[in-house]
Structure 1
Amino acid sequence: MCTLEKRGNIFFLTLTGDDEHRLNPKLIDQIRSALRQVRAESTRGTALVTKGEGRFFSNGFDLAWAQAVGESSSRQRLGHMVNLFKPLIADLISLPMPTIAAVSGHAAAAGLMLALSHDYVLMRRDKGVLYMSELDIGLPFPEYFMTLMRSKISSPIARRNVVLKAAKVKADEAVKMGMIDSAHDSAEETVEAAMRLAEQLIGRKWDGEIYADIRKASFPELCEVLGLMDKVKAPSKL
């Protein structure tokens, strides 16, 4: 499932265990609960690092859970997960602090969306890929998935390869495509780099609410789809 701990001014949200960290209603609820705690305990100069244990950052929605009730009900369960996951993305986009995803394993489908919802994405280069599997398994993209990718993957060619080629993108290639910020040689080095970046960011002691307002203003299309537009405030006090 997941755990939350705070070291100094850095919150660490960890997807625990050696499984695929599939996003089912229980895990989504746990992550949202952790983010509510992060929001409640946030102060000037804090940051969030999200990481996963084992070979996976997250392998997307829990399709086995969706299919456990038969074909007719599995679509309803999948739609339920899609609806539950959307406000989790909104939680991250509106969180009043810098956010960093330390992708130390595979990040696929909704798992990749979870990573891209952070301000910064760091990834290990020795293992793991970024992969949108929907085309391969015959599922359409939810609207907010596409909007998130348009907001976070600026290159049309990179987006084409991700969504219309179902490319499995390794870390160094993802850096070149502008999908992630940096690649590192191991899971440990990825997390360490995320910690160093977090320390740099919290040292600026930014006002978290202003930071969140500027982030939301940077992605107006995404915020509109997520229902955050009415919560965007003008950051300028001039």
Structure 2
Amino acid sequence: MPYVSREGDVFVLNLGAEGEQAGENRFHPDWMDAIHASLDEIEGSEGPAALVVTSTGKFFSNGLDVEWIFGHLDQLPEYLDRTHSIFSRLLTFPMPTISAISGHAFGAGAMLAISTDLQLMREDQGFFCLPEVDLNMPFTVGMSALLNSRLPKQTAIEAMTTGRRFGGPDALAAGIVQATSDATALLSSAVSRAEQLTSKRGANLGGIKRSIHGDLIGALETKTRDTDFAFGQQ
């Protein structure tokens, strides 16, 4: 499960389990509950602060938990709404947020990465990819709005319609991330950047973010219907 550590005034939310073999960090319902609980813990702190979201191992996050979905198709709309809530929470989080993309960010994992304020990515390994077009999986209203809002238009078109895998340098050139780093310096670079922003933390920052992302938050809060999302169907 995800866990929280702290480096000075910077909280680090690791998407994977502490002290265990790194996994894929898929959006299992229990995992999403743990993410929200971690964000509750961080938000409940006092004083200057910023947040870095990262992971260890091969994956930043491999997206939706497909195995769970096929076992609970009757719960799919609620599951997707819960997924959207992670994005909304990060988009409006009342402190500066940075994704340190240390491995593959696929599908919903890629969407999580761009839900923070800034993005740094490992330059030598890992891909940012939206494979939905190859999985016959439509984007929800909220997912489409997120991608079209947070990515440059042509990048969104290419990523969403071709499933292209963007390595670190390509992601930087395409405007997906703002900087790249080698693996050994990625987290420290993100923490260093976050340290410069800790004084911004507070309700005012959260309000500014909500004003920036107002339409996007509205789309993410749109309830998913059974007819909106036919997983894996032609």
**TM-score normalized by the length of structure 1:** 0.87
Determine if the alignment matches structure 1 residue 206 to structure 2 residue 192.
no
Name the CA distance, whole Å, in 1 between partners of 2:136 and 2:75. Answer: 16
State which drifts further: 211-220 or 113-122.
211-220
Aligned to 2:197, the other structure's residue is in SS state helix
Question: Match for 1:53: what amino acid?
Answer: T
Name the CA distance, whole Å, in 1 between partners of 2:104 and 2:201. Answer: 33
Name the CA distance, whole Å, in 2 between partners of 1:76 and 1:117. Answer: 27
8 Å CA contact retained: 2:91, 2:213: no
Question: Match for 1:211: what amino acid?
Answer: L
CA deviation profile, 1:81-120 (whole Å, cap 9, x unmatched): 2121111212112211000111000000000111111001
Structure 1, unaligned stretches of length 5 or more? 229-238
Match of residue 160 from structure 2: 163
Match of residue 232 from structure 2: none
Determine if the alignment matches structure 1 residue 226 to structure 2 residue 220.
yes
CA deviation profile, 1:116-152 (whole Å, cap 9, x unmatched): 1100110001110000111111111011111111111
8 Å CA contact retained: 1:50, 1:101: yes
Name the CA distance, whole Å, in 1 between partners of 2:201 and 2:180. Answer: 29
Determine if the alignment matches structure 1 residue 48 to structure 2 residue 51.
yes
Q: Select the residue among 23, 34, 44 that pairs with 2:38.
A: 34
Size of the alignment, in residue pairs? 218
Q: Select the residue among 60, 63, 69 that pairs with 1:57.
A: 60
Name the CA distance, whole Å, in 2 between partners of 1:76 and 1:106. Answer: 29
Q: Select the residue among 162, 173, 177 that pairs with 1:176.
A: 173
8 Å CA contact retained: 1:42, 1:96: no
CA deviation profile, 1:43-67 (whole Å, cap 9, x unmatched): 3x21001111101000001111222
Question: Match for 1:198: what amino acid?
Answer: A
Using the TM superposition, give the Cα deviation of residue 42 of structure 1 relative to its aligned residue in structure 2, in angstroms. 4.2
After the TM superposition, which segments of 4 or more aligned residues of structure 1 sit over 6 Å from their partners? Answer: none
**TM-score normalized by the length of structure 2:** 0.88
Match of residue 123 from structure 2: 125
